[in-house]
């Protein structure tokens, strides 16, 4: 195996694949980077069992200035190999495997020789049915991930809640995440999807976070294909595979109340700033809660918090609408801040049923398709 390539362009693809490679793995070969070289392309593959990332470098792409002399395949120690390539002196780098599994890396006057492994021992990627492909706009997928992944559970006691539950039925994509204290649900109608394509999958939140970071660097739409236990996202010259979580996601639709005794509408950004100020003190308190007081008859909305060691804070919040019964309710300010950030600069409607029942936040302009639900904290 022997090829020469533009080093900076090669590094950008190495960085993509390195996202999937972990030094903490029970399968030693997965600490390595797989390279398969033929006359037309180089395929770089990295995996950590949960996600696999494959980048294809085409010889026809002039950005890479790729010249292949001999095809071949090898697995090289990923972190070490990438650090070497990044620090080489010349714009071009030549990688050659002459005998066995030793690779010579040459650039300018610098030459490294490192030991690799047989690429045949690297786990094979799953076969994916291409006749069940949907296309998602890049910005829509990023937004769906951003708005739901915040509610994914960090606890290991219920592994199924560590994922985002995504369903597609009759062209309606629904994404739901909950950690049992809060819930985020986002719906998107896809116009150009074959109504015969349905799926119901649970994708690990860590995979979705990684995917979101990668698609931020490209402008192209994302193709999605699903198998029994894997999902594949294709964008640019990258294939991103993620394993799916096995099991049944809890039924969440009945958790969202459809009636309210008290409602308030306010600017998300302004309210977020108020919560951030109140949480300066709440974080110093043992129970870390912020209290919200609503008095519709007086057109009063007030947030407050206290810390026995530090002091108290109280602030009135401007609203555009306030209706219903008087209410005092306490909540975790971190959950509220995450929810408000996910809405961006918009007006939100918060609907309450009682001081101890979960309450909902929806954007006033698109309340049908995006909802956050937060469980209050009992303080008495």
pLDDT tens for each residue of the chain, 380 residues long: 999 999 999 999 999 999 999 888 888 999 999 999 999 999 999 999 899 999 999 999 999 999 999 999 999 999 999 999 999 999 999 999 987 899 999 999 999 999 999 999 999 887 776 667 899 999 999 999 999 999 999 988 889 999 999 999 988 999 999 999 999 999 999 887 776 788 899 999 999 999 999 998 788 899 999 887 899 999 999 999 999 999 999 999 889 998 999 999 999 999 999 999 999 888 887 778 999 999 999 999 999 998 888 899 999 999 999 999 999 999 999 999 999 999 989 999 999 999 999 999 999 987 789 999 999 998 76
Task: Decide: helix, strand or coil at residue 194.
Answer: coil
Q: Cβ distance 255 to 161 under 8 Å?
A: no
CATH of domain 133-243: 3.10.150.10
User: CB-based contacts of 210: which residues, under 8 Å, 6+ apart?
Assistant: 19, 20, 51, 240
Q: Cβ distance 82 to 76 under 8 Å?
A: no
| pLDDT confidence of residue 182 | 96
CA dist 25 and 77 (Å) reads 13
| pLDDT confidence of residue 209 | 94
Task: Decide: helix, strand or coil at residue 162.
Answer: helix
CA dist 278 and 282 (Å) reads 7
Q: Cβ distance 143 to 216 under 8 Å?
A: no
| pLDDT confidence of residue 130 | 66
Beta bridge partners of residue 371, listed in sequence order:
185
Closest CA to 131 of 189, 200, 197: 197
**What pTM does this model have?**
0.91
What class has domain 2-121?
alpha beta
The DSSP H or E segment spanning 16 is helix 7-18
CA dist 127 and 120 (Å) reads 17
CATH 3.10.150.10 in the chain, residues?
2-121, 133-243
CATH for 256-374 (3.70.10.10, 3.40.190.10, 3.20.10.10, 3.30.43.10): 3.70.10.10
Q: Cβ distance 252 to 211 under 8 Å?
A: no
Positive or negative, the Cα torsion across 316, 322, 323, 328? negative
Task: Decide: helix, strand or coil at residue 108.
Answer: coil
Distances (CA, A) of 361 to 152, 172, 184, 358: 17, 21, 10, 10
Measure the N-to-C terminal CA separation of the chain; round to a whole number of Å: 71
Q: Cβ distance 92 to 33 under 8 Å?
A: no
CATH 3.70.10.10 in the chain, residues?
256-374
Edge-to-edge strands, sheet with 311-316: 311-316, 300-307, 290-295, 327-331
């Amino acid at each position: 195996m022997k090829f020469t390539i533009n080093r900076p362009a090669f590094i950008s693809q190495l960085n993509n694949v390195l996202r999937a490679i972990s030094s903490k793995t029970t399968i030693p070969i997965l600490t390595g980077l797989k390279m398969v070289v033929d006359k037309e392309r180089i395929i770089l593959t990295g995996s950590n069992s949960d996600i696999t990332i494959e980048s294809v470098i085409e010889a026809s792409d002039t950005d890479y200035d790729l010249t292949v002399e001999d095809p071949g395949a090898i697995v090289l120690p990923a972190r070490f190999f990438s650090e070497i390539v990044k620090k080489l002196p010349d714009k071009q780098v030549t990688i050659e495997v002459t005998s066995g599994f030793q690779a010579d890396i040459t650039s300018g006057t610098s030459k490294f020789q490192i030991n690799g492994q047989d690429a045949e021992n690297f786990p094979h990627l799953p076969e994916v049915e291409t006749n069940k492909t949907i296309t998602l706009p890049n910005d829509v997928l990023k937004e769906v991930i951003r708005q739901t992944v915040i509610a994914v559970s960090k606890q290991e006691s219920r592994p199924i809640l560590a994922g985002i539950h995504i369903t597609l039925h009759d062209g309606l994509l629904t994404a739901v995440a909950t950690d049992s204290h809060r819930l985020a649900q986002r719906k998107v109608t896809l116009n150009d999807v074959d109504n015969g394509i349905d799926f119901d999958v649970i994708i690990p939140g860590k995979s979705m976070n990684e995917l979101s970071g990668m698609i931020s660097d490209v402008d192209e739409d994302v193709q999605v294909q699903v198998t029994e236990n894997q999902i594949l996202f294709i964008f640019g010259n990258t294939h991103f595979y993620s394993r799916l979580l096995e099991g049944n996601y809890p039924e969440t639709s009945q958790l969202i109340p459809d009636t309210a005794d008290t409602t308030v509408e306010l600017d998300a950004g302004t309210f977020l700033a108020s919560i951030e100020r109140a949480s300066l003190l709440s974080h110093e308190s043992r129970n870390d809660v912020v209290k919200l007081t609503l008095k519709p008859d007086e057109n009063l909305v007030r947030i407050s918090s206290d810390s026995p060691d530090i002091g108290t804070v109280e602030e009135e919040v401007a609203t555009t609408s306030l209706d219903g019964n008087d209410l005092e309710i306490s909540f975790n300010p971190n959950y509220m801040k995450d929810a408000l950030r996910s809405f961006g600069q918009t007006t939100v409607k918060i609907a309450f049923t009682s001081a101890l029942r979960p309450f909902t936040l929806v954007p006033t302009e698109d309340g049908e398709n995006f909802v956050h639900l937060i469980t209050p904290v009992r303080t008495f």
